[in-house]
Each structure stands twice: as structure tokens, then as C-alpha cells.
Amino acid sequence: MLFKISTLALLVASVAGHMSIVSPCPRYAAHGIDCPAVPAGESIDYSLSSPLGENEVLCKHTTPYATPSATWSAGQSVTVSFRDEPAAHSGGHCQFSLSYDGGNTFVVVHEELKYCFFGSAETSNNAKILSYTFNLPTQLPSSDNAVFAWSWVNASGNREFYMNCADVAIKGNAASYTGKQMTIANHAGYPTIGEFNGDYTTGLEHYTGASVITVTGSGAAADYSSAPIAPIAPIAHNAVRPIVEATAPVVVEPEVEVEAPVVVAPVVVASVEVATSSIAEVQYLSVAPVVPIVYTTSVAQDVTTAPIQTTDPSSCTHGDMVCNGSGYTVCVWGVWTSLLNCAAGTTCRQTTPSVIYCDY
């Protein structure tokens, strides 16, 4: 019995001395803050402050909490807090990452390289920094079941790889995010980063040269910060505004003297049809082109009052509109245009000589 007690005491001593996060609460943490209930069949883990075993799976535990430890929004300032432990191993390289595929791949969202827990070169084992606050990327996708990870390669001591994982929900505003892949070292199948021995550039090439990956959302936590599209007010009877108003003739009002012939471009009539949803559908009528009207002005001529008519204006009154079944024509400076069609299935209706509309 004495042997068993001594062995337990040594075990507790071996797992209580390294760094581990307490917030957001990692999976099955014994010392986490605001932790969800441990899943059925799982137990509190007192060894989260120990490094990963050589062949141990990433995160130590693959079964997530039933509810997230935290809910974050893209671009939000978040704080990751650590337990005050006596073995910070002179610092080293820390990364903070997110996984959208259950913990198989991780993309880095923040890192503290070289001097993690200290801020400068240090030989002490007592951490000086016990929390890091940083902004999440603004272009993160949404997920109800993202995995947040803190990972660490220690500067001094045995060559080890530390990792804690917390289940979080992300309210994002993008379909995907591209960033560096989390660096794994001192673990089976991955490179070894040697003891720093005062050289804090040791192993940096594995971080600066990391692969770039793209992750996509895997859940329904979307809460986009941009406002939804506002409904477009319907236009009664799909009204078609006249090409010209009877009281406002189509004219050219130059700000400078006109020396070249002025061409009035063909006019296209559009019908706006609004659906019952908040997004309007815009239909453009198939119309016959209007023959351009060309008139010439002298250098000092006021084209507003003295256009040269190509047709006797007495043939029709400028601005008048006439229905003709499923279409209509318009008088432009004494000339009736070719037939302009209403939208399919609608009929032209007239209220005044200068106002018509297409309706079902």
C-alpha cells in the first residue's frame, strides 16, 4: 500500500507542474473555469498540464463537450488564461488555433513565438504572463462545434509538445478562412525542435515555413454583423414610367457651347416586378430600339428651346403614350416609336395620355 501511495504522489507531482489553460475550459479540465458537464462515460482529467505522449492523439480527448465552453464572434477580442504552474520551461513557442473538422486540422489565429509566458529571454521556470488577449480574425466562418487549441513547444527541458483543446462556437461572417497550419513538433511523426539553450530562434523555421490551409464552416452559429437586405418597396401595378413627361420634353442642356451634332440615345423601358420576398426581382422588357433623333445646333444655340424636328410634331403630341394589347408606343418629338412590349403575361392599361402601366 505504501508503494501505491508513493507512486500516486509521484504521478500527481509529475502532472501538476506544467502550463495548462483554464479559460476557455479545456476538455475534462479539473481546474477549468465555467466548464460544461463532462460527457457520459468520460472522467475529469488531472493530467492536462502534462505534455502529449509520443503517440497520444491531439487534444488528448476526442469526444467534445455537449455544449461549448465559450461562444466567440469573428473579430472579437478574446482572452486565454493559464493556471499558475511552477514549470514554464523558460518560455518557447505558443500557438492558438481553431479546427473546423473536429480536431483533425488546425489553422492558427494567434501566436506567441520564442518568449511565451515571459515576453523575453528567461531562464526561470515561473511564468510572468498568465493570459493572452488577442483579436480573432474578422473573416472566420461560423461553427457550433469548432475546437480551439493552445499548443506549446517548451524552450528548456525534455523535448515535449503541449496541447489543450476547448470546444467553442464561432459566430462568423465568411464562408472560409485561410491561414497558417498549426505547427506540431516533438511528437511521433513530426520534426523535433531541440532545446533552445538561449537561442530563441531555435525551430522558428517550422513556424514561419508552415503550410497555408483554408478551413470552412461546419455549423450553424452564423450571426452576421452586416444588416440583412432591406425589403424593396413594391411599385403599384408594375407601373411603367413614361419615357418622357408631357411637361418635360427630352432635351439636351449642355454646360458648354455645342459644336458637334447631338444624338439622343435609344430609350429602353424597364418594368420592375417585386416578389413577396424581401429581394426584388427586376425584369427587363424586350423592346424594339427607338430610332435616334439627330439635330444640329449652332455654337450659340439654346438647344432646350430650339431643337430641329425631323418630323412634323402635329402627327402626335410629344410624351403621349398609347396602349396596343400587350404593348404600347410613345410619341417622341412627333414620331411614334415601334411597339414596346409589356412583361410576359401582362396587358397594357392606360390612365392618362402620358401614363400607362402593365398589369396582369
How far is it, in rounded angstroms, from Cα 249 to Cα 251? 6
| CA nearest to 144, candidates 58, 42, 72 | 72
> Could you tell me if 257 and 300 are in contact, meaning their C-beta atoms sit under 8 angstroms apart?
yes
Q: Report CA dihedral (206, 208, 211, 217) to the nearest 10 degrees.
A: 120
Instruction: In whole angstroms, give the CA distance from residue 256 to residue 248.
Output: 21
Question: Over the stretch 279-338, which tens digit does the pLDDT of each residue have?
Answer: 333 333 333 444 444 433 333 333 333 333 334 445 788 778 888 877 888 887 778 787
Nearest to 308 by CA among 290, 292, 296, 291: 296
pTM over 0.75: no
C-alpha distance across the termini of the chain, in Å: 93
Is-contact 176 101, C-beta < 8 A?
no
Q: Which tens digit of pLDDT belongs to each residue from 42-96?
A: 999 999 999 999 999 999 999 999 999 999 999 999 999 999 987 899 999 999 9
Per-domain boundaries in the chain: 15-216, 236-359
C-alpha cell at 164: 489543450
CATH number of 15-216: 2.70.50.70
pLDDT in tens, 6-44: 333 333 333 345 899 999 999 999 999 999 999 999 999
Confidence (pLDDT) at 358: 75
Question: Residue with C-alpha cell 455654337?
Answer: 299
Instruction: Name the grid cell of 264.
Output: 439622343
